Amino acid sequence: MTNLCLVALAQQPENRKQFSAGLAWSLAQAKPDYTRFERFMHWVQNVPAAEANTSGGCPWVPGTAAWVAPTVAMVIAFGLALKLGYTDPNLATQIRRARAFLLSRECPDGGWNTGSSQLRTKASYAYPEMTGMALLAFDRASRVGIERALHLVRTMLKQPESSEAQSWLSMAGHLHHLGVPPSAPKPCRSVRDLALYLLATAGLQNPLLV
């Protein structure tokens, strides 16, 4: 949530003091690499090897496990900080770690679920809204590691399940220049749906596309 607030604060120069304070707090939340005990527990719990060794994500609530959505928010906020001229080397480090975290959680079908790529004994499947959102964390100049996900976005955009899914997928399409023609908008059922729709239709003016 703090990272989303940072995105909003970054839009107004007069909010720079609050932005700096929020950024410092967010940087301090960065998870260190997994401890030996955590790795052992991952082994016991059959966590896929790639996930078991890749920390760097961000939790919803401090002190709990990391998930895709808050990790993406962190990458966007830190990317904005770099754009604004902040020079803390931890920013680039945490972005790199977060991207590694996301890549390690990519589902076998090429997209993202809320967190793990595996649900106990079965592979997780991609959610369209999470797949679109996750792709906002990746550099538009480089497509290394996300080619399958981009292909999946093209497929998902043909039949998005919801307005929210359509908006996140469209944003990913804009960021990564997929050139997918816009489809008929799904009904917005909430203020959040409407806000995301407006962001998605803003193209590259969208502040979430860093």
Partner 1 sequence: MNQSLSRRYFFFGSLALGFTSIGCAHRSQALSSKGRSYPVSVLKAANYSIELEDIVRRVLIEHAVAVRGKRVLLKPNLVEFNPYKPINTHPAFVAAVAGAFRALGAAEVRIAEGPGHRRTTLDMAEAAGYFAAIAQFESKFTDLNLDAVRKVKLKQPFSTLHELYLPETALGCDLLVSLPKLKTHHWAGATLSMKNLFGLVPGAVYGWPKNILHYAGINESVADLHNLFPRQFAIVDGIEGMQGNGPIEGYVKHSGVIIAGAHPPSVDATCCRIMGIAPEKIKYLKLVAARSGWPIEGVVERGESVESVRSRFDLIGDLEFLRG
On whether the CB atoms of residues 54 and 104 are closer than 8 A, the answer is yes
From the CB of 60, what's the least distance to partner 1, in Å? Answer: 3
What minimum distance in Å lies between the beta carbon of 199 and partner 1? 15
101 counts as binding partner 1 under rule CB under 8 A: no
Cα gap 92→89, rounded to integer Å: 6
Q: Which of 56, 57, 70, 173 binds partner 1 (CB under 8 A)?
A: 70
Residue 69 found at the interface with partner 1 (CB under 8 A): yes
8 touches partner 1 (CB under 8 A): no
50 contributes a contact to partner 1 by CB under 8 A? no
Choosing from 65, 194, 198, 204, the residue that interacts with partner 1 (CB under 8 A) is: 65
Q: Is 165 in the site for partner 1 (CB under 8 A)?
A: yes
User: Which of 123, 152, 159, 119 lies closest to 135, judged by CA?
Assistant: 152
Q: Which is nearer to partner 1, 46 or 155 (CB)?
A: 46
Q: Name which of 108, 100, 111 is nearest 50 in CA terms.
A: 100
Nearest to partner 1 of 64, 205 (CB atom): 64
Q: Does 190 bind partner 1 (CB under 8 A)?
A: yes
Among 28, 36, 37, 45, binds partner 1 (CB under 8 A): 45
Dist CA 26 CA 16 (whole Å): 15
The C-alpha atoms of residue 80 and residue 94 are separated, in whole angstroms, by 13
Kindly state the smallest distance separating residue 195's Cβ from partner 1, in Å: 13
114 sits near partner 1 (criterion: CB under 8 A): yes
- Least separation in angstroms between residue 119's CB and partner 1 is 6
The residue ranges that bind partner 1 (CB under 8 A) are: 43-46, 59-61, 63-65, 67, 69-70, 113-115, 119-122, 127, 129, 161-165, 186, 189-190, 192
